[in-house]
Structure 1
Amino acid sequence: MSDKNMVLGIRDVPKTSKWILFSIQHLFAMFGATILVPFLTELSPAVALVSSGLGTLAYLVITKGQIPAYLGSSFAFIAPITSAMAIGGTGGVMIGSFLAGVVYGILSLLIATFGTDWIIKVLPPIVVGPVIVVIGLGLAPTAIDMAMNVDGEYSGIHFSAAIVTLLITVIGSLLFKGFFGLIPILIGIIGGYLYSLIISIFTSNKILDTSGVQAAWDKIMNAGSFGEAIQSIFLVPEFVIPFVNYNPADVFSWSIVWMMVPVAVVTVAEHIGDQMVLSKIAGKNFIKKPGLHRSILGDGVATMIASALGGPPNTTYGENIGVLAITRVFSVFVIGGAAVLAILFGFVGIITELIASIPTAVMGGVSILLFGIIASSGLRMLIDNQIDLGIKRNLVISSVILVIGIGGAYINIPLGDVDVTIAGMALSALIGLVLNLVLPDKESGYGNGQMFAEPDDQE
């Protein structure tokens, strides 16, 4: 793919009017998924928007402004965050998230020192694929509970909102073209929200509470001056900052570390896949220049920034790569503009209230599709790499990973006065890595070897 196919090159600066429009497209593409993660994990959506914007800006600096990638909330951490929240609260989650970012930094250093060949030995498709399936299917009960139940009891009207949201999202994914085809999640959430609004207006089922939005609007409209109105629009998000909102020493737990840190190993594999796709789309070899070590470090720093503010871990977004593929606008200035807009949105109070008012059932409807897609992407990894499950070794590894991960197995390891718990996805990933190392015929687990193959140089 040659540069002549680009509307804007990586270092091109667009005109102001187009710049804003292009950046808004990227903002919309990431918005639905980015706010869904904090919504599911009881973190602040406003903080998630701010941390995704700051993380993206840091990523652009670390990659020398050479990779047009946007970073948003990572779905892989939803289950570990939920479990860790019960142990150490938000502060404990942030410590686990920070240490996951440190793992990115260590892997970045290893890649810079030893290259990329060793990664395939540690993260073969036969391990990573089933673990990704575990991530998706392990979240399935959460999606169904959100869609069907209110306070643990079945609600038909809430389930109808989830089904409407799901149908709109599915139709959008299959039938919408161009830019709208890139934001089916956002369109589904809007459609489900409007359905919930109609139900709440015309029936006695008040599944949508807009009192917070109304209060924020009234505050703006009742302002005595223009200056007061501007002050009413902006609201500082509920940041969770170490040594200000919590003492790291008081909430640290080895159980949280073992819940969250191993997830970084899986998300690194996803990150590499995104870099390969982005390289092919842009006609550049980002794995060589500016280097995989820089992009992984950028991911890690973004996650550490999020952990310092109270946001979920960040990762590169496939949705925004899709925007690049359709618009042919590869300018990092456009990506940076989207990051700045995300930060501004995080400080707009009425937007924060609007996000908070989204019914749980609506988010549940979207989650049914999204969590299934995560699981399916793990199957796709096995298929794309031509992993033969007719080989007993591969069948054993994948089977053990799936049952341990989805079944909820865990082990307690005594460590001083406390027991460290390794559970679910983290345990299945660790056991998968061990099985891959000790069982014979390792080559069969690599498949066709395309998982981490570097794209050819294209000028």
Structure 2
Amino acid sequence: MQKPVLDIHEVPSPGKWLFLSIQHLFAMFGATVLVPFLTGLNPAVALVTSGVGTLTFIFITKGQMPAYLGSSFAFIAPIIAAKASGGPGAAMVGSFLAGLVYAIIAIIIKKTGSEWLMKLLPSVVVGPVVVVIGLGLAGTAVGMAMNGADGKYSTMSFVTALVTLGITILCSIFGRGVLSIVPILIGIIGGYIFAATQGLVNFQQVIDAKWFAVPDFTIPFVNYTPALSMKIVFLMVPIAIVTISEHIGHQIVLGNVINRDLFEKPGLHRSLFGDGAATIVAALLGGPPTTTYGENIGVLAITRAYSVYLFVGSAVMAILFGFIGKISALIHSIPTPVMGGVSILLFGVIASSGLRMMIDDKIDFADKRNLMIASVILVIGIGGAVLQIGSFKVEGMALAAILGVVLNLVLPATKKEATPKMNTTNKVS
């Protein structure tokens, strides 16, 4: 095991602190602003809530886990559906409830241990749900890539998306060091430059924007009156099944990178509670749910600089960026096809990571039990099935996740199931 350049509680010199914190900021930036871009939330708010959420997580875990929390891709479709159902306020209520589930499970784990959770979420359940998350968003990505501002097919839009996609793939495959960790950011920058040469970028909004601007936070009882409905509960809460398993996987990988047993100290209950608290904070301010980021774990592995102070620095910078009006305007000026090109890869990677999870954990599909569980999840989720009884309604991904858990509990086990072990390349975000 190589000696770390900076151990967890070492305070870096000012220059090193700034440079290494900027690296973590860049690592999370592209994915964190993409989620609000896709869901119609405010990217500036997402930057602020990712920073505040990260600081909250560091405080709750007593500074023992170097991690950055950015926007979660798993909640894209549920947020869009919740907004369509009841506006931004409904999406925030759902996000709050998802964070509350984290906190409740964390408390139960503290009292009873985590073995029950591992049995509840084996890879044969989580893997297919992750595939559903990725493929369920495929139509969104392709639509963004192919259509112009008028919503109709545009060859130039599709070419722009393909250029963006190509740059992202090339950077991911041939990039070295930190460059290989930020292909999304570089792809967006490259696609933006190409789009600008084709006259697809409106710079006027950037020129007109103020340097300092308070983001448009969505705050309960100020911007909306919270209302609880079973539809919102079943849209958002079941997704916690996936993000909790993702959290567990990230803690395993992070522990291997920094050579510490994070399940022992600070404990899975504390890290889960911190993750849930960050999502609750985000919901109270109008940002998307958060999750620990595999990209930043990758940066840790490359730099061997594990200091938690680096994440404090990147979190503070993210908050400051959220209040710079020109940065917010610059994000809004990114043409939709550029984001569509990046999304084609990202959503495909999400789906592929679900497959890889099952392969890595050697899920045997010759076993009829595994075949039945995965098959039902995939068709129910991707097919958009709906279960409606009166005003009660649960659909799509949420229904698939619930049925997967139920089938796993009621079908007799034939072999010991593997629990999900996602690594830094198997990321749902």
* TM-score where L is the length of structure 2: 0.96
Question: Aligned AA for 1:234?
Answer: F
Paired residues in the alignment total 421
Q: What displacement does 1:120 show? A: 1.8
Query: Is 1:328 aligned to residue 304 of structure 2?
Result: yes
Which of 251, 254, 262 matches 1:286? 262
Deviations 1:119-159 (A, max 9, x none): 12211111000000000000000000000013431110000
CA distance in 2, matches of 1:429, 1:19: 42
* Conserved 8 A contact 2:249-2:420: no
Match of 2:213 among 229, 235, 250: 235
Does 1:423 pair with 2:401? no
Task: Please name the residue that 2:425 is paired with.
Answer: none
Q: After TM superposition, where is structure 1 displaced by more than 3 Å over at least 4 residues in a row?
A: 449-452
Helix, strand or coil: the match of 1:153? coil
Match of 2:287 among 283, 295, 311: 311
Q: Quick check: 1:436–1:442 contact (8 Å CA) kept in 2?
A: no
**Cα distance in 1 between the residues matched to 2:421 and 2:134:** 20
2:340 aligned partner, one-letter code? G
User: Quick one: distance in 1 between partners of 2:152 and 2:360?
Assistant: 41
Task: State the partner residue of 1:76.
Answer: 74
Which of 245, 256, 261 is equivalent to 1:269?
A: 245
What pairs with 1:161-180 in structure 2 (closer than 5 Å)?
Answer: 161-180=160-179
Question: How far, CA to CA, are the matches of 2:37 and 2:156 in structure 1?
Answer: 21
**Which structure's CA Rg is the greater one?**
1
Of the three residues 298, 302, 314, the one matched with 2:278 is 302
CA apart distance, 1:413? 2.8
Secondary structure at the counterpart of residue 371 of structure 1: helix
Name the counterpart of 1:361: 337
Q: What stretches of structure 1 of length at least 5 have no aligned partner? A: 201-206, 217-231, 453-459
Residue in structure 1 matching 2:383, options 398, 407, 412: 407
Maintained 8 Å contact 2:218/2:286 = yes
CA shift digits 1:192-250 (9 cap, x unpaired):
000000011xxxxxx2212101212xxxxxxxxxxxxxxx421000000000001113x
Q: Secondary structure at the match of 1:421?
A: strand
Q: Aligned match of 1:432 in 380, 404, 407? A: 404
Distance (Å, rounded) in 1 between the aligned partners of 2:414 and 2:116? 13
Note the 1:104-119 alignment, pairs <5 A: 104-119=102-117
Against the structure 1 CA distance between its residues 188 and 450, is the aligned structure 2 distance closer, same or farther, given a 3 Å change threshold?
A: closer
In structure 2, the partner of 1:203 is: none
* Cα distance in 1 for residues equivalent to 2:47 and 2:34: 11
Q: Percent identity?
A: 60
**Alpha-carbon distance, 1:442 to partner:** 5.2
CA contact (8 A) 1:7 1:327 kept: yes
Partner of 2:208: 215
For residues 108 and 254 of structure 1, what CA distance do their matches in structure 2 show?
23
Distance, in Å, in 1 between the alignment partners of 2:278 and 2:34 is: 18
State the partner residue of 1:31.
29
Check the 8 A contact 1:88/1:253 in 2, yes or no: no
Letter in 2 for 1:179: V
1:221: which partner in 2? none
1:152 and 2:151 equivalent? Answer: yes
Measured after TM superposition, the shift of residue 46 of structure 1 is 0.1
Match of 1:247 among 195, 208, 225: 225
Paired position in structure 1 for 2:426: none
TM-score w.r.t. length of structure 1: 0.90
Q: Which moved further from structure 2: 111-120 or 28-37?
A: 111-120
Kindly provide the CA deviation profile for residues 27-81 of structure 1, in whole angstroms up to 9, marking residues without a partner as x. 0000000000000000000000000000000000000000000000000000000
Q: Deviations along 1:246-270, whole A, 9 cap, x unmatched?
A: 1113xx3221111001101210000
1:384 pairs with 2:360: yes
| In structure 1, C-alpha distance between the alignment counterparts of 2:223 and 2:420, rounded to whole Å | 45
Q: Distance in 1 between matches of 2:213 and 2:26?
A: 21
> 2:46 corresponds to which residue?
48
CA distance in 1, matches of 2:208, 2:271: 42
TM-superposed deviation, 1:420: 2.5
Change (3 A) 1:125 1:450: closer
- What amino acid is the match of 1:341? M
Partners in 1 of 2:274 and 2:420 — Cα distance?
Answer: 24
Counterpart for residue 194 of structure 1: 193
